[in-house]
Amino acid sequence: MEAAQKTTPIRLLLADINEPARIRSDHEQFYYGLLPLGDQKEQPGADLNVAWYHRNAKIFAKLTQIARPGDRVLVVFGSGHAFWLRHFAQNMPGFTLVEPNDYLR
């Protein structure tokens, strides 16, 4: 990423980060990769996943509290949030996910 920043326009770097397949892959590799961590007494991998889901659910809950029908809302968060925020936008009645790459490419 650091090398690409020197020669690639920011909009294309953002487009790459916002590719649905990459978002899914990054989430699976990191968060699902942590699930097996632990033992019979403690489950830090599961605990981290619960906390991350909880954080993103709260972020999206706040969006539902401020957005009104017909609003267009731009959400800018770090890429680690993309999987769950996309999930909520795609599955929450009254919300529609608009792919950022439609505007970045």
Rounded Cα distance, 7 and 81, in Å: 26
* pLDDT single digits (tens) 9-48: 999 999 999 999 999 999 999 999 999 999 999 999 999 9
* pLDDT single digits (tens) 87-104: 999 999 999 999 999 888
Domain residues for the domain of 98 are 2-104
pLDDT of residue 100: 92
Give the residue among 23, 53, 47 at the shortest CA–CA distance from 35.
47
**Res 83 pLDDT > 90:** yes
pLDDT bin (cut points 50, 70, 90) of residue 105 is confident
Domain count, the chain: 1
